[in-house]
Amino acid sequence: MIGDNLFFEEIEKVSKIVKALIREKNVKVISHHDADGLSSAAILIKALTREGVNFKFRILKQLTENDIKELDIGESDFLILLDLGSGQINGLKDVLDKTQVLVLDHHDPVRKEHMNLLHINPLVLGEEEISASMICYLFAKMLNIRNTDLIDLAIVGAMGDIMDEKWELKGLGRKILEEAEMLGKISIERGIRLYGRNTRPIFKSLEYSSDAVIPGITGSESNAVQFLAELGIELKEGERWRMLKDLTLEEQKKLASAIIVERLKNGHEDAEDIFGEIYNLIGRPKDLQDAREFATLLNACGRTGNFGVAVRLCLNDLTALRDSWGILENYRKMISTGLNWLRDGNFEARNSITIVKGGKKIPDTIIGTLLSIALSSGIVDSTKIVIGFADDEDGNLKISARMSRNLNLNLRDIIVEAAHSVGGEAGGHKFAAGALIAAGKEDEFIKATENKLSNQVK
Ligand SMILES: [Mn+2]
């Protein structure tokens, strides 16, 4: 079942050490506020509870050097970092000099060792990237085989971090998916890559079609409604809005070919490339059965500060479901207000980058999500990097950067270098990165980014 490579050996070795540590020390768990971090937190919470261990847990937007100081970790503590930490190994030095730290993360790592550092990151251990939730799952399973029942959360976290390019998990992530299928926790279906299959009216799914983009229809509710009317697909069944899952097979085929035709008309290179896999969670309430929708809901909770609701949802506390819909509604409003603001042209297209200065207009917790949607729906040029700025509550500037997977650059390297040049902190992945810098430094940051890019092109 378990491979013989370094990654799995390390997880096994570390799990044994951790098993002893959690009994001796005060356990403090810190995780990240997005869907991957929240699923990771839920997996560890359940696993630690099963070990009979008391612990404290906190969710953070990011782990800054200031946050590390405020954690006030002493010799009797044991710190566990989920979906963050790999990029902050240097900042953790003082803590590491005092006590052990376990990092379960997949962000681009600082490759530094310390005798107190237990660092599980596939990128450090010669393995391909998987989500933090998947790392946490593998770790929890090694701690106690009963934790295999948490495997659906591993998949949900991976959806949140979009580890499934074109809606299909590959590589090690696929192996975990297959394990979930084998355990009877997930079923796999094929369908059009449209969000909201079980939760939104069809025209809303089409309006928000950012993955399989439909020219002229993505982003326009009225065009989406008209498109369906022309196809003879009823919007309602009695009083109830119909959703994608309600379509007959005939209607699904009609819709799929019409989408392909629209894409062909507009000269899309891969017009027929609109299908992908849908992952159904078995044994979850109806509204949480689609792994992607579950991830969206967790994201909405996390980015609006409702961490408790998110973790309760993961742990199958159904009373949290009622609380979550209002949160999602609010989050969707925030996103659509932000998108409309961008559509009004509130960005600056430069030679090699697009700049979005969000200021106080765009909450720092959603700027990254907005940029991702703006890229994939064509609001901003997808052949360029897009960089967004938003004021955070401490008076700093939160930076998010995104680029299409077609670009052959390493966004994390670019952003880290630019952030360091203005005295900030940064981290991330090849296609998505973030930073935190002092207010007023954005032009300097932009210049540093442009310089780095022009050097790379030469
Ligand atoms: Mn993650």
How far, in Å, from the CA of 252 to the mean position of ligand 1?
33
CATH code, domain with 437: 3.10.310.40
Contact 242, 201 (CB under 8 A): yes
**pLDDT over threshold 80, residue 263:** yes
Per the listing, tokens 């847990």 go with 57
How far, in Å, from the CA of 435 to the mean position of ligand 1?
15
Residues 41 and 172 in one domain: yes
Q: Does 370 fall in a domain? A: yes
Residues 18 and 124 in one domain: yes
Per-residue pLDDT, averaged over 355-372, amounts to 95
How far, in Å, from the CA of 254 to the mean position of ligand 1?
37
Residue 361, domain extent = 345-457
**pLDDT over threshold 70, residue 1:** no
Domain count for the chain, please give it: 3
Three-state SS at 160: helix
pLDDT for 120: 98
Residues 218 and 128 in one domain: no
CATH code, domain with 72: 3.90.1640.30
How far, in Å, from the CA of 258 to the mean position of ligand 1?
35
Contact 45, 29 (CB under 8 A): yes
Contact 132, 40 (CB under 8 A): yes
| Cα within 13 Å of Cα(364), Cβ side | 19
How far, in Å, from the CA of 85 to the mean position of ligand 1?
11
Q: Does 336 fall in a domain? A: no
How far, in Å, from the CA of 162 to the mean position of ligand 1?
9
How far, in Å, from the CA of 66 to the mean position of ligand 1?
21
How far, in Å, from the CA of 42 to the mean position of ligand 1?
14
Residues 131 and 15 in one domain: yes
How far, in Å, from the CA of 233 to the mean position of ligand 1?
38
How far, in Å, from the CA of 69 to the mean position of ligand 1?
23
Per-residue pLDDT, averaged over 227-246, amounts to 95
Average pLDDT taken over every residue of the chain: 93
Q: What is the tens place of the pLDDT at every residue in 138-178?
A: 999 999 999 999 999 999 999 998 888 889 999 999 999 99
Per-residue pLDDT, averaged over 363-371, amounts to 94
Residues 29 and 147 in one domain: yes
pLDDT for 262: 93
Residues 197 and 279 in one domain: yes
Of 152, 182, 212, the last residue of a domain is 182
How far, in Å, from the CA of 203 to the mean position of ligand 1?
31
How far, in Å, from the CA of 131 to the mean position of ligand 1?
5
pLDDT for 457: 56
**pLDDT over threshold 80, residue 111:** yes
Residues 176 and 196 in one domain: no
Q: pLDDT over 70 for what percent of the chain?
A: 99
pLDDT for 4: 57
Residues 213 and 358 in one domain: no
Per-residue pLDDT, averaged over 254-273, amounts to 92
Q: pLDDT over 90 for what percent of the chain?
A: 83
Q: What is the tens place of the pLDDT at every residue in 283-339?
A: 999 889 999 999 999 999 999 999 999 999 999 999 999 999 899 999 989 988 999
Residues 75 and 171 in one domain: yes
Q: Does 214 fall in a domain? A: yes
Of 308, 329, 358, the last residue of a domain is 308
pLDDT band at residue 196 using 50, 70 and 90 as cut-offs: confident
How far, in Å, from the CA of 176 to the mean position of ligand 1?
16
Q: Does 290 fall in a domain? A: yes
pLDDT band at residue 85 using 50, 70 and 90 as cut-offs: very high
pTM of the model: 0.91
Alpha-carbon distance values, 231 to 191, 206, 241 (Å)? 18, 13, 17
How far, in Å, from the CA of 265 to the mean position of ligand 1?
37
**pLDDT over threshold 50, residue 458:** no
pLDDT for 84: 97
Report d(CA 216, CA 265) in Å as an integer: 11
Of 162, 182, 202, the last residue of a domain is 182
How far, in Å, from the CA of 324 to the mean position of ligand 1?
21
How far, in Å, from the CA of 83 to the mean position of ligand 1?
5
Q: Does 210 fall in a domain? A: yes
Per the structure block, which two tokens stand in for 280? 């159904």
Per-residue pLDDT, averaged over 240-267, amounts to 94
Residues 141 and 32 in one domain: yes
Q: Does 63 fall in a domain? A: yes
Q: Does 35 fall in a domain? A: yes
Widest pairwise Cα distance in the chain: 68
Residues 66 and 169 in one domain: yes
β-pairing verdict for 26-32 and 77-82: parallel
How far, in Å, from the CA of 107 to the mean position of ligand 1?
7
Per-residue pLDDT, averaged over 343-372, amounts to 95
Per the listing, tokens 């017009």 go with 271
How far, in Å, from the CA of 344 to the mean position of ligand 1?
31
How far, in Å, from the CA of 260 to the mean position of ligand 1?
32
Residues 218 and 354 in one domain: no
Per-residue pLDDT, averaged over 232-259, amounts to 95
Q: Does 421 fall in a domain? A: yes
pLDDT band at residue 189 using 50, 70 and 90 as cut-offs: very high
